[in-house]
Amino acid sequence: MFSAIVIDKTDDQQSVSLQQVDEAQLPEGDVTIDVDYSTLNYKDGLAITGKSPIARKFPMVPGIDLVGTVRDSSHADWKAGDRVVLNGWGVGEGHWGGLSQVARLKGEWLVPLPAAFSGKQAMAIGTAGYTAALCVDALVAAGVTPDQGEVLVTGATGGVGSVAVALLKKAGFTVVGSTGKASEHAYLTQLGADEIIDRATLSERGKPLQRERWAGVVDSVGSTTLANACAATKYGGAVAACGLAGGADFPATVMPFILRGVRLLGVDSVMAPKGPRMAAWARLARDLDPALLDVIAHEIGLGEAIAAAADLIDGKVRGRVLVDVNR
Ligand code: NDP
């Protein structure tokens, strides 16, 4: 038996609880992992609170991230004792996930734990941090360079935003963080923000074309925030869009794209192929100061994850939530 968060659904009513689960119930897969840490991402918050239909079958163990040690494997790439990381691939949505002491997964979904990080640090980064790295990679590949001017990070105190601020600063950019948390300016400055703006300045519908300010943008908010970010992006600049914390709509015009050549770069972490995944983790290993992870992440036990998920969706959480599944 092992402990896991289990989401169940009967007659359209979702229930979530910490349960003891029999190993015979583990799903199919060629690698069994003793999990050390998982995390809470926005998507886990949506799944646990039931605010969006993230879990696609029931019962479901949520958790789109995990780090642990291979217990047994019939996959050619992995053997008992290997330290592995899992981010995405629909785990925690359609396949039992990481908020559990044991997981059984497909070997092709796993990457080796980067040598630069402990398991705990890799989960302090988690999907949110790895997505931030994908966003920075996308901007850099689009030709955005520090000499072109300021870059904007929206949802700056969130998981994606926090890591994006730190990575962009390290890459030499002048970073402007947009946040709704007036109390967290010192936090953002510590991560590397050069200037902080109130997210309210981006949340009202604005003009189709605004003063050209941003050379690049990492947006985890969507909706009017993304529309305004595009409208204020400089000629030839790029906007990496990865999130919907402010809404899934996109009330924009094509003007920034057709008159200023602004590029809108969609970023997905879930099905990202192994190449970009490894590149993103390599950027994190090279550019993210591990000491900052102690500032960005706070740790909770498995039993606290249900309450913390509600706080995350209510926007009350700063940075990343690390879950020790063995306490
Ligand atoms: P967090 O909850 O940690 O951060 C989201 C941040 O967005 C909050 O901290 C807050 O920052 C801001 N925010 C919250 N609500 C609103 C609102 N109504 N209007 C404007 N800003 C708001 O989530 P994550 O960082 O884990 O994820 C951020 C987004 O990115 C989510 O939508 C998530 O689904 C998405 N995502 C997408 C991935 C992909 O593969 N494309 C992978 C990972 C995440 P502040 O208080 O500083 O304003």
Q: Choose the final residue of a domain: 266, 283, 307.
A: 266
315 lines ligand 1 (CB under 6 A): yes
Measured in angstroms, how far is the CA atom of residue 80 from the centroid of ligand 1? 36
**Considering the domain boundaries, does residue 286 fall inside one?**
no
- Same-domain check for residues 258 and 136: yes
Q: What is the DSSP letter of 290?
A: H
What is the maximum alpha-carbon separation in the chain? 60
Number of domains in the chain: 2
Measured in angstroms, how far is the CA atom of residue 326 from the centroid of ligand 1? 27
Domain that holds residue 105: 2-113+291-324
Question: Which residue's CA is minimally distant from atom 35 of ligand 1?
Answer: 243
**Considering the domain boundaries, does residue 120 fall inside one?**
no
- Same-domain check for residues 86 and 147: no
- Same-domain check for residues 26 and 144: no
CATH number at residue 189: 3.40.50.720
CA distances from 114 to 76, 121, 247, 279 (A): 19, 10, 33, 11
- Same-domain check for residues 139 and 37: no
155 lines ligand 1 (CB under 6 A): yes
**Considering the domain boundaries, does residue 47 fall inside one?**
yes
**Considering the domain boundaries, does residue 145 fall inside one?**
yes
- Rounded (to 5) percent helix, strand, coil in the chain: 35, 30, 35
CATH number at residue 68: 3.90.180.10
- Same-domain check for residues 151 and 102: no
- Same-domain check for residues 134 and 255: yes
Measured in angstroms, how far is the CA atom of residue 79 from the centroid of ligand 1? 36
Is the whole-model pTM more than 0.85?
Answer: yes
Choose one of 39, 40, 42 to mutate for the ligand 1 pocket test, by most ligand atoms within 8 angstroms of C-beta: 42
Reading the chain (327 residues) residue by residue, the pLDDT tens digits are 999 999 999 888 999 999 999 999 999 999 999 999 999 999 999 999 999 999 999 999 999 999 999 999 999 999 999 999 999 999 999 999 999 999 999 999 999 999 999 999 999 999 999 999 999 999 999 999 999 999 999 999 999 999 999 999 999 999 999 999 999 999 999 999 999 999 999 999 999 999 999 999 999 999 999 999 999 999 999 999 999 999 999 999 999 999 999 999 999 999 999 999 999 999 999 999 999 999 999 999 999 999 999 999 999 999 999 999 999
162 lines ligand 1 (CB under 6 A): no
**Considering the domain boundaries, does residue 139 fall inside one?**
yes
269 lines ligand 1 (CB under 6 A): yes
